[in-house]
Structure formats: structure tokens, C-alpha cells
Amino acid sequence: MFTDVFLKESSQIIDGLDRMSIEKLADTLLQVRNSGGRLFILGVGGSAGSASHAVNDFRKLAGFEAYAPTDNVSELTARTNDDGWETVFANWLLGSRLNKNDGLLIFSVGGGNAELGISANLVCAIDLAKQNGAKIVGIVGRDGGYTAKKADAVVVVPTINPDHVTPHTEGMHGIVWHLLVSHPKLKTNATKWESVKN
């Protein structure tokens, strides 16, 4: 049964996640918050939806000043139309005066690959962050692509079944970021239902 297969793969992926990579990601995010930096969460496609949700959680539960460029569709499409898709995030970050105290959190299946022209907008944003000394972290799939090569901390979601790389990676984005905003190092506010007594 497909349901059994998919859920078993999910369980194997969770078991295979590198715990120390997650802890390093939490420590790096803590450095960003402690320095007064902002957290910019970048994702394309389904990962853009995850970025929007994660902004809420990092702001509300973990005390970050966090933003996702994809939350403003007017600016996103204007920059795409006027400047091009590859630079849409980098130019948005320039407008936000990205600096050495800030951080990027990348949600991506492939992590970006300039040679193949896949998620080149993430590649440009990562290059800009490197130039400005901002921290870069990511939760990515496969081999992590450009994000894994350039990030200060990255969690690479293990590939259990190549036919399910995208759904599993995007699902793990949610699990790992919810772990992070629940982590004692980062959590500053209680979640609602846990604070309500029966």
C-alpha cells in the first residue's frame, strides 16, 4: 500500500537526519538573533509557502525579526518583470540593506544550481549574503546544491526514494523548522495550545 511505503520512507528520513547539523543550524540562528540581525527566509514554489509559514513561527515563537520576499507578490512580480527572475531575491535583499548581522534561511529541494539554471535566484541571494558577511543556513534535499556548498550550517534531507525527493524534502522543511522554533535555544514564547490548561 502506497500510504505505508510513503510513511515508512518518512520515518527513515527522520531517523537519518544529522542531529549535529540541526544543532549547528540552531546555534547559527541564535548568533543572528543575538546580534540583532534579521532573518530572511527564501524559498521557491512550495518552499515559498513554507517560508511564509516559517516567518510567522520564527517571529511569534522565537523572537526573530523575520521576513520572506515572496510574501509581497506585487514587489516580487515587479522585480521579476523589471530585473529578471535570477536577481529577484538579491535585489530585494539589497533594498532591505542586508548586512553582516543578518541571516538567510534557505528552503529548497536542490539548493540551487547556476550551471543547470535551477533556482538561480537562490544562488544570487547566497552570493550577495556571502559578499555582505551575512549568515547562511538551509534545509535542502539531495546533495544540497549551492546552498550546501556555501552555507554556514545546512541540514541535507537524506534521499530514501529518488521518486519522492521533492515531497519528502518539503515535508522535512516543516519538521525541522518546527523543531527549531521549539528548541530551548531559540524558543522565546509558548505555543497557544500548550499554554492552555485543561
pLDDT score, position 107: 98
pLDDT tens per residue across span 12-22: 999 999 999 99
- The whole-angstrom separation of Cα 191 and Cα 62 is 10
Task: Return the closest-CA partner of residue 19 out of 132, 186, 183, 191.
Answer: 183
pLDDT tens per residue across span 92-104: 999 999 999 999 9
SS3 for 191? Answer: coil
pLDDT score, position 198: 67
- The whole-angstrom separation of Cα 79 and Cα 72 is 11
pLDDT score, position 144: 86
Domains of the chain: 2-185 (3.40.50.10490)
- Kindly state the DSSP code that residue 158 receives in the 8-state scheme: P
pLDDT tens per residue across span 63-86: 999 999 999 999 999 999 999 999
pLDDT score, position 114: 84
**What stretch of H or E contains 165?**
helix 165-182
pLDDT tens per residue across span 27-76: 999 999 999 999 999 999 999 999 999 999 999 999 999 999 999 999 99
Q: Provide mean pLDDT across the span 141-168.
A: 96
